Amino acid sequence: MFPRDPDISALQQVVATALKNDDPSSIDPAEDVFDQGLDSLSTMEIVQRARDAGYTVTYMDLLEASTLGEWVEVLREHAPSSGV
């Protein structure tokens, strides 16, 4: 499941899961996620999970935003419509 309201801790969990890391708090939100071991295939899987949850984010959106803090902003910009 992808978080409906992405924040740092929720994205730490998403990235930790992708990295098969049991300690989400070890994912530094200020450090480049790719320097922490995330690869392009894992990023594509995260994008697909986000899109399945209604986000309009693209692979390039996350590649260009390389820290979790930047990902939070990007995901909020591409959040699912509330339908109201």
Per residue in 27-78, pLDDT tens?
999 999 999 999 999 999 999 999 999 999 999 999 999 999 999 999 999 9
Q: Rounded distance, CA 31 to CA 18, Å?
A: 16
Q: Which CATH superfamily, name and number, covers 8-77?
A: ACP-like (1.10.1200.10)
Please give the DSSP secondary-structure letter assigned to residue 25: G
HSE-up (13 A, CA, CB side) for residue 13? 7
pLDDT at 1 over 90: no
Q: What is the pLDDT of residue 82?
A: 63
- Quick one: pLDDT band at residue 4, thresholds 50, 70, 90? confident
